[in-house]
Amino acid sequence: MGKFASVFTLSIVALLLFGCVSKQQSVLPPVPSPPSSPTLVGGDKDAHGCIGSAGYTWCNASQKCYRSWEENCTASAAPAGGRQCKTVSDCGAGAARCVNGQCTQYDEHGCVPDGGYTWCEALQQCIQPWMTNCTAPLIGGDKDTHGCYTAAGYSWCNASQKCYRSWEENCTASGALDGSDRDAHGCIGSAGYSWCPDKQQCIRPWETACNATDRLANAEEHCADANMAQVSVCGQYIKVVSSLMGGGSTFYSDNGTATVCPLVAPNSMSPQCSLLMLGSNCIDKVVDCAKVNLPGAVTDLKDDPNFVGAQLTWPAPDSKAVDYEIFRASQDMKSVSLIKTTSQKSYNDVFNGKGATFAYFVRARNADGAESPVSNIVYVQQLSTASGPSPGQID
């Protein structure tokens, strides 16, 4: 009996101890798992700099990061982009320029957004950010004495003591009123005027060349260049566009230095050509070469009063004249006839009439057949009483 009681007692104690241990284990908190590393918004930029965690992806058409629920991936409409042109007026309204025969869209710096170009302040030129580092130093020697990049349109402002571009800001000192900054010559710097000693007047450099020889007159001389398609004045340069395939353009400075820029992809251009062809913000002033090559007008047409009819003589106006058209008209100029074309500088028109008076004038022509303005008019009175003039005779 005693042994049974001892065994029973031990069993009870064991059960109690087991129950306590089991209860303690059931209330122990679970062992926490190691925390995962959180994803930081903005730390997942792709090759174009777009932040994927913020919903941005790259759009080739617009050349920027975008979110599809905010906008469509489309290129901005460029006015007259791709249209064939001869001058900027062919491109219509908008920020379009005529570049190598095509209308091209530009931003306010002269960059071509459709080509992925943006303005780089450090380089003072248009770049494709994924191709060119914007912090690189500028290659080229187009700084003026104040360090202003003239090819990019910058000039020195004495009032603010800094480089500026006139279409972006006025040349005024801080707090100065436009027009209140006349210099010693009376030129208003805030309006872009500066003194030109050669012309003895205030000028704006992008409108008028300061050098004594007019830049436009120099440009007209290039109308005779071989393989010339177009001549224009753009800022401080004369621009001659080649008619050859891929010939591009040649830019002439006032000192005669020529920069040849062949027609290549923008990222293959030299830094200087990139500035001249893409970074220039001036509007081309196209030279009308057809008029430039015209011969001058004959100004000294004469008649010999002792001749029975009209005996006309005149000097050559210039070397461009290769032949002449002779016209005969009624005295009131209501009836005009072309009576002869000749390479000589004299003509006899023998006629008979009833005392009527006829008017004569000539026009010079160049090798292309383009005509000069009319000469002075000579009036010749008939001396006989027969009727009507006869056909002219050449001496």
Using the 3D structure, point to which of 75, 93, 116 is the last residue of a domain: 75
What's the average model confidence in pLDDT over 16-38?
A: 49
**3-state class of 329 per DSSP?**
strand
Q: Are strands 201-203 and 194-196 parallel, antiparallel or unpaired?
A: antiparallel
Using the 3D structure, point to which of 75, 90, 119 is the last residue of a domain: 75
CATH of the domain at 371: 2.60.40.10
pLDDT at 392: 42
Using the 3D structure, point to which of 37, 57, 75 is the last residue of a domain: 75
Specify if 59 maps to a domain: yes
CA distance 81 to 96: 7
Range of the domain at 181: 154-205
**3-state class of 68 per DSSP?**
coil
Residue listed under structure tokens 């992925």: 116
Q: pLDDT (tens digit, 9 = 90+) per residue, 83-134?
A: 677 776 677 655 566 766 777 777 777 777 766 778 887 777 788 777 777 7
**3-state class of 136 per DSSP?**
coil
Write down the pTM of the prediction. Answer: 0.34
Spatial CA neighbour of 361 closest among 291, 312, 309: 312
Q: Which amino acid is at 111?
A: C
Specify if 230 maps to a domain: no
**3-state class of 304 per DSSP?**
coil
Q: pLDDT (tens digit, 9 = 90+) per residue, 151-201?
A: 677 888 887 888 887 777 778 765 444 456 788 888 888 777 888 877 778
Q: pLDDT (tens digit, 9 = 90+) per residue, 57-72?
A: 888 877 888 888 778 7
Specify if 309 maps to a domain: yes
Q: pLDDT (tens digit, 9 = 90+) per residue, 185-197?
A: 888 887 778 888 7
Q: pLDDT (tens digit, 9 = 90+) per residue, 217-241?
A: 788 888 888 888 999 888 778 899 9
pLDDT at 35 over 70: no
Q: For the chain, percent helix, then strand, then coil, each to nearest 5?
A: 15, 25, 55
Specify if 323 maps to a domain: yes
Specify if 376 maps to a domain: yes
Task: Please provide the average confidence, as pLDDT, over all residues in the chain.
Answer: 75
Sign of dihedral through CA atoms 58, 63, 68, 73?
negative
Strand partners, 208: none
Specify if 177 maps to a domain: yes
Count of domains for the chain: 3
Specify if 275 maps to a domain: no
pLDDT at 386 over 50: no
Sign of dihedral through CA atoms 87, 90, 94, 99?
negative
pLDDT at 179: 54
